[in-house]
Homo-oligomer: A and B are copies of this chain.
Amino acid sequence: MTVSTDRIDVVGIGNAMVDVLTHETEEFVAAQGLVKGSMTLIDADRATELYNQMGSAIEVSGGSAANTIAGVASLGGTGAYIGKVRNDQLGDIFAHDMRSIGVQYGVPRSTEGSPTGRCLILVTPDGERTLSTFLGASVGLTPDDIEGSLVRRARILYLEGYLWDPPAAKAAMRKAAEHAIADDQRVSLTLSDSFCVDRHRESFLDLIDSSVDVLFANEEEITSLLEVDSVEAAIAGIVGRTEICVITQGAAGASIVTADRVVQVPADAVDHVVDTTGAGDLYASGFLVGLAKGHDLEMCGRLGSIAAAEIISHIGPRPEVDLAELVASKLR
């Protein structure tokens, strides 16, 4: 076996998922006992029950970090992904969609146990999405799936907060972070969801203080993490705990917080928001590619805004156009 020694811009680790998207009303979301805009973990039985009540859906590869790495590849960066699917049809779809966009993805599939994970997504008329996740095979990710040689080739290691839920996957993330720290790379974390932050606040803070160089969060997540009431208080609280903290604020753009300054980057204009699924994931794609390529923070934020704007203008969390071409046309 030939081991490549080429550098990789970003290696991402996350729960590998196929998204199942449908349009539903706010009343339907409420009747299902779901909180609009949040992510709820569900078991196989509840997944079947909810699916049976949902309308016609489309299936598209998802998974938060997987979306980010797909975006990295579409932006012309090199990306690799670590996450677990089963040897079933949804697993085929997930693997195809990663490789076809140019992502290095070679994690062995499980051959028994739960089927490939899926995320049932209800898109309401305002473009907001409510997620119910059946983790399925993704919980089978273990430290054995982390190839140290792959992680050490990466300029940036990107970790998904959602992966903090399955215990073995959490251990896998810690192992990857140790490899990255040993090799003096940047370690990046996305908080994923405010309920996820609630479940894991202390261990997230430990990880941030010990290992994280670049933290991604939206307003709800960062204020939940630090248990404060405002973004201003969160900014004051996070300074010094991580090299860079990117706080995404939807249509208001993003605040990029470092030890000595806060950079405000506006959002890219979008005519009609169709589906916000993947907005944060793709913001991270742009920002991380910029960072890996050595751009300044303003340009990193601009790349994030362009990628996020493309994703929310259509259904599904993966780019429909070549993002490198889109960026070239926007920056011309």
| A52 on the B face (CB < 8 A) | yes
CB distance from A18 to the nearest CB of B (A): 8
Q: A55 to B316, Cβ gap below 8 A?
A: no
CB distance from A121 to the nearest CB of B (A): 13
Chain A contacts with B in 312-330, Cβ cutoff 8 A: 315-316, 318, 320-321
Given contacts A23-B320, A89-B115, A115-B89, is CB(A59)–CB(B56) below 8 Å? no
| Best-surrounded residue of A51, A52, A54, A97 (most CB of chain B within 10 A) | A97
Given contacts A89-B89, A89-B90, is CB(A96)–CB(B59) below 8 Å? no
Fill in one digit per residue for A269-301: 1 if any B CB lies within 8 Å of its CB, else 0. 000000000000000000000000000000000
Q: A55 to B100, Cβ gap below 8 A?
A: yes
| A93 on the B face (CB < 8 A) | yes
CB distance from A197 to the nearest CB of B (A): 30
Q: A56 to B51, Cβ gap below 8 A?
A: no
Contacts of A96 in B (CB 8 A): 51-52, 54, 56-57
| A58 on the B face (CB < 8 A) | yes
Which of the residues B59, B88, B100, B318 comes within 8 Å of A60, measured between beta carbons?
A: B59
Q: A61 to B70, Cβ gap below 8 A?
A: no
Contacts of A262 in B (CB 8 A): none
Q: A58 to B58, Cβ gap below 8 A?
A: yes
Query: In the complex, how many residues of chain A place their beta carbon closer than 8 angstroms to a beta carbon of chain B?
Result: 26
A-B contact pairs, 30 of them (CB 8 A): A23-B320, A23-B321, A51-B96, A52-B96, A54-B96, A54-B100, A55-B100, A55-B101, A56-B61, A56-B70, A56-B96, A56-B97, A56-B101, A56-B318, A57-B93, A57-B96, A57-B97, A57-B100, A58-B58, A58-B59, A58-B60, A58-B316, A59-B59, A59-B93, A88-B88, A88-B89, A89-B89, A89-B90, A89-B115, A315-B315
| Best-surrounded residue of A51, A100, A101, A315 (most CB of chain B within 10 A) | A100
CB distance from A131 to the nearest CB of B (A): 18
> How far, in whole Å, are A89 and B54 apart by their CA atoms in the complex?
16
A115 — nearest CB in chain B belongs to which residue? Answer: B89
Chain A contacts with B in 76-104, Cβ cutoff 8 A: 88-90, 93, 96-97, 100-101
CB distance from A45 to the nearest CB of B (A): 15
CB distance from A50 to the nearest CB of B (A): 11
CB distance from A120 to the nearest CB of B (A): 11
Apart from the given pairs A51-B96, A54-B100, A55-B100, 14 other A-B contacts in the complex at a CB distance below 8 Å:
A23-B320, A52-B100, A54-B96, A56-B61, A56-B70, A56-B96, A56-B97, A56-B101, A57-B100, A58-B60, A59-B60, A59-B93, A88-B89, A89-B115
> How far, in whole Å, are A88 and B23 apart by their CA atoms in the complex?
24
> How far, in whole Å, are A90 and B90 apart by their CA atoms in the complex?
8
Which of the residues B56, B70, B97, B101 comes within 8 Å of A100, measured between beta carbons?
A: B56
Chain A contacts with B in 39-74, Cβ cutoff 8 A: 51-52, 54-61, 70
Contacts of A100 in B (CB 8 A): 52, 54-57
Contacts of A321 in B (CB 8 A): 23
> How far, in whole Å, are A55 and B23 apart by their CA atoms in the complex?
25
A52 — nearest CB in chain B belongs to which residue? Answer: B96
